[in-house]
Structure 1
Amino acid sequence: MPTVLFIWGWRLYFYANENKEPIYIHAEKGDMDCKYWILVDEMDIKEEFSYNMSPKDKREIRKIIFQNFDTIADSWNNFFKKTT
């Protein structure tokens, strides 16, 4: 499972065997976990699930994902040899 980045205690990663899914990112910090779809064409994200996260935690990870949107999409595409 490739790790895209570590920031503010969050680990952002995706699974190497899920290349048939649209671009997504998992994030975990302590006992919190979530998954967001990366909607490249819309320049947006959509929460798939979250576990043990407060609204503040969700705002924080959404901010991190948006600030690193291109890095996440590029990491996915480079890993799976796709182009955006």
Structure 2
Amino acid sequence: MAPTVVRDGPFRLFFFSREESRMHVHVAHPHGEAKFWLSPTLMLATHTGLSERELVEAERIVARHLQEVIDAWREHFGG
């Protein structure tokens, strides 16, 4: 299961239900995907296929929706 948290333009922010416990979000785009750690600070974890410009935009989108993503994480995973 991979619940979508946010759709913003061509970007989709989502979680995988059975993955590591450290708070993070995946960002899908038609050209690739990225994973961002949410805590203790927002930070790129991994990426594939995205240009530097797309990565910058993905991070901006995660930052813009950060509290919404954190709230969705806590609701989905508990705590």
TM-score, normalised to structure 1, is 0.85
- Paired amino acid for 1:4: V
1:1-84 mapped onto 2 (5 Å cutoff): 1-18=2-19, 20-39=20-39, 42=40, 44-82=41-79
The alignment-based identity, stated in percent, is 21
What SS does structure 2 have at the residue aligned with 1:59? helix
List per-residue Cα deviations over 1:6-34 (Å, max 9, x = no partner).
Answer: 1111111011112x521100011113111
Deviation beyond 4 Å, 4+ runs, structure 1: none
Specify every segment of 5 or more residues in structure 2 that has no aligned partner in the other structure, as ranges: none
Show structure 1 runs of 5+ residues with no match: none
Q: Distance in 2 between matches of 1:13 and 1:35?
A: 10
| CA-CA distance at 1:47 after TM superposition | 1.1
1:5 is displaced (CA, Å) by 1.0
* Structure label with greater radius of gyration: 1
